[in-house]
Structure 1
Amino acid sequence: MAAIPAALRDALSTRLGAPVTADEPVYGGDINQAARIEAGGASYFVKWRADAPPAMFPAEAQGLRLLRAPGVIRVPDVIAQGDADGACPAYLVLEWIEIGGGRGGRDGAMEALGEGLARLHRVEADEHGLDHDNFIGRLPQPNSPMMHWGAFYRDRRIGAQVEIARRLGRLPARRADLLARLMARLPDLLDDEISPPSLLHGDLWGGNYLIDADGAPVLIDPAVYYGHREMDLAMTELFGGFSTRFYDAYHAVYPIDPGYEDRRALYQLYYILAHLNLFGEGYGGRVDSIAARYAGRG
C-alpha cells in the first residue's frame, strides 16, 4: 500500500478547502488503492485508481447516496468525487468510519444489519434495474430497466456475464451450451409475482460491511440496482460472514418468500460468473454445476 500520489494530494487539498496534512495507507479492496487522510482537522477515507473507467467512481457515489437516502442503515457520506486529470487519478472521498464493536458486540451488529437490510429492501420501484449502469467489482453491470424479473436476470445479469466470459475465452462449448439452455428457461424459472423490485446493495459479501465504533453496521462498496431481494440474501450465503442472528432479524422484519432455497444457487450463479471473469477458471466448475442444475435436459 502506497501513500497518495502528489497530484492527488493537491487535488484533494483544493477540493476539501484545506491542505491534506496526513495520510495513512489502508486496505482498499482488490481493485483500488486507499488511504485515511486528514484535512482541516477532519479525517476522510479516499480511494483511487489510475486506470478507473470514467463512470466507476461516479456510479459508486450515486449508489452510496441511494442506499443512504432511506436512513434505515448507516452508509458513508460521499464527500467528493473526481475524474482522472493528468497525473491525478480518479478518486472518491467518503467520511471516515471509525471501526469498533460497541457495547452490543458482533451479535448486536448482526441483528441491526439484518433488520436494516430488510428495511432497505422495503424501498421499492416499479421496474427492475436503475437509471444508470454501474459495476460489479471492476466489471460493467448493465441496469437498463425491465418490467419482468426473469427477463432482466437473463439479459442484464447472466447474459451480460456470459458475453464477458466469451470475450475472455472462458466459455468452452459445454459451458456455453449449459448457460444457453439455462437462459432460455429463466423467464419460466423466476416468478415475477414473488416480490416487487427492491433496492439492493448488489454485492453484499462479508467484506462489504463494517461495524463502527458504536456497534452499528455500515454498508460499503455497493453495486446498487432495484431487483429481487433474494439476490442480496443469496450473496450473503455464498462466502459466509453473516450469522444466524442476521438472518433471524431479517426474516422478522421481511419474511422470505417460499422456495428461496430452490432459487438461491441460481442467484449465486451471477456472482460466481463474475468471479470467473475477474479471477479465472478456478470458478469454472461451480459455474458448470449450477448451470447444469437449472438448465434442464439437453
Structure 2
Amino acid sequence: MRVSGQGWLAAEVGRALRSRVTAVERVTGGDINDAHRMVLASGEVVFVKTDRGGPAGSFAAEAAGLDWLRETRTVRVPEVRALRDGETTLGRRFLALEWIETARRSPASDEELGRRLAGLHRSGAPGFGYVHDNVIGSLPQPNAPLPTWPEFYAHRRLLPLARRAVAAGRLPSESLASFDRLVTRLPSLAGPEEPPARLHGDLWAGNALADHTGRPWLVDPAVYGGHREMDLAMMRLFGGFDDRCFAAYQEVHPLAGGWPERVALWQLYPLLVHTILFGGGYGASVLATLRRYV
C-alpha cells in the first residue's frame, strides 16, 4: 500500500520513532481500532493501532498493562515502541508496538502458554485491583483496590456492568435483585482464599498469538490483580485453546479443589461485557448463569 494513503499516520509514527516510514499495510486490528503494519527506513517493522472511537486513555492503559506483564519475565508481550494518547499534530491517537510475525498456534505452543501463564499468575499482584482504571473492549474497567476477592468481583466487576446492562435495556431490571443475591453468596461460592494473581484480564483466543517459531505471545491486556481462575474461565468461555494448555497450567500451578464449579461464576464478567457491547444471546447466558448460582 502506498504510504501517502495514510500520510498523517506515517508522519506521526516516523516522527515518534525518528525514522521515515517506507510502507504501510492495513491489517486486522479488532472491532475498536484500525491497525497497520509499518516498515521504517531503519528496517524496523511495527504494528500501529489508531483510534476509531475508543475511550481516551485506552492506549496508555494498554501500554502500561503490557509493561506490567513483561516485568514478571514469564509471558511474552510486545514491546511498546511509541505512544500518542493525547492530542497529536493531526488530532489522532496511536500505539506502536513491536511487530510479531505470527503463525497458527499449535498444541505445543499452547502447552508452553499454559506453563507461562501459570508463572504469570504465581508472580502475584499487590492486591485485588490495579493502580489505575483501564478498559476491557471499549468499556471502562474500574480497578480501585478492595480487601478481598469477593468484594472486588462484586463491586468492581459484576454490579457496575449489571447496572449498565439494565440501563441500556440489555437485561431486565429485575435481574439486579438476582445480582444482589449473588453478591451475598460470593464469599461461600468463591472457593478457598488465594493471594491476588497478576491477570491478563481479557484472555480469549484472539489475544494469544504464536510467532513464526511457535513461541506464544499475549496482546491486548486488561490487567489487574484478581483471582487466577478468571483468566482460565475466559479461555474456556470462547474456546480456541488446546487441552494441553490447561494440563500444563495444572502441572505448574494446580487449581484449588472445586474449580470446575466456579468456572461459570467467573464467566459472568465477560458475558456481561459482551451483553453490553453486542446484545444477542449473551444476555440470556447471563440470566441462565445467575439462575445456576442464586
Question: Which of residues 69, 72, 76 is equivalent to 2:78?
Answer: 76
Q: Aligned residues: percent identity?
A: 46
Paired residues of 2:6 and 2:24 also in contact (CA < 8 A)? no
1:285 matched to which residue of 2? Answer: 284
Q: Are the equivalent residues in 2 in contact too, given 1:11–1:88 (CA < 8 A)? A: no
Query: Which residue in 1 is equivalent to 2:33?
Result: 32
Which residues of structure 2 form unaligned runs of 5+? Answer: none
Cα distance in structure 1, aligned partners of 2:202 and 2:269:
11
Tell me what 1:267 maps to. Answer: 266
Give the SS at the match of 2:281. Answer: helix
- Identify if the C-alpha distance between structure 1 residues 2 and 200 changes in structure 2 by more than 3 Å, giving closer, same or farther: farther
Q: Aligned partner of 1:22: which letter?
A: A
TM-score when normalising by structure 2:
0.94
Find the aligned partners of 1:181 and 1:74 in 2 and give their Cα distance. Answer: 40
The corresponding residue for 1:16 is 17
Report the residue type matching 2:35 in the other structure.
Answer: A
CA distance in 2, matches of 1:243, 1:2: 39
Check the 8 A contact 1:80/1:93 in 2, yes or no: yes
Structure 1 segment 134-153 matched on structure 2, within 5 A: 134-153=134-153
Residue from 45, 56, 59 that aligns with 2:58 = 56
User: How many residue pairs get matched?
Assistant: 291
Alignment of 1:157-168 (within 5 A): 157-168=157-168
CA distance, structure 2, for counterparts of residue 262 and residue 269 of structure 1:
13
Deviation at 1:165, TM superposition (A): 1.1
Distance verdict in 2 for CA 1:239–1:90, change over 3 Å: same
1:86 is displaced (CA, Å) by 5.7
Listed one character per residue, the Cα deviations across residues 222-271 of structure 1 (whole Å, up to 9, x for unaligned) are 11011000000100100101111101110010001101111110000000
Q: Is the 8 A contact 1:150 1:188 kept in 2?
A: no
C-alpha displacement of 1:277: 0.5
Q: CA deviation at 1:90?
A: 1.0
* CA distance in 2: counterparts of 1:2 and 1:187, whole angstroms: 57
Match of 2:257 in 1: 258
Q: Which amino acid aligns with 1:34?
A: A
CA distance in 1, matches of 2:196, 2:62: 20
- 1:5 is displaced (CA, Å) by 3.6
2:275 is aligned to 276
1:117 positional shift: 0.2
Which residue matches 2:107? Answer: 107
Matched, 1:46 2:44: no
Counterpart-to-counterpart distance in 2, 1:199 and 1:13: 34
Deviation sequence 1:134-172 (CA, Å, 0-9, x none): 011110000001111000000000012112213312231
Does the Cα contact within 8 Å between 2:2 and 2:24 map onto a contact in 1? no
Q: TM-score, normalised by structure 1?
A: 0.93
Residue identity opposite 1:32 in structure 2: N
* Larger mean Cα displacement after TM superposition, 80-89 or 237-246: 80-89
How large is the RMSD of aligned CA atoms in angstroms?
A: 1.8
Q: 1:60, 1:2 → 2: CA distance?
A: 29
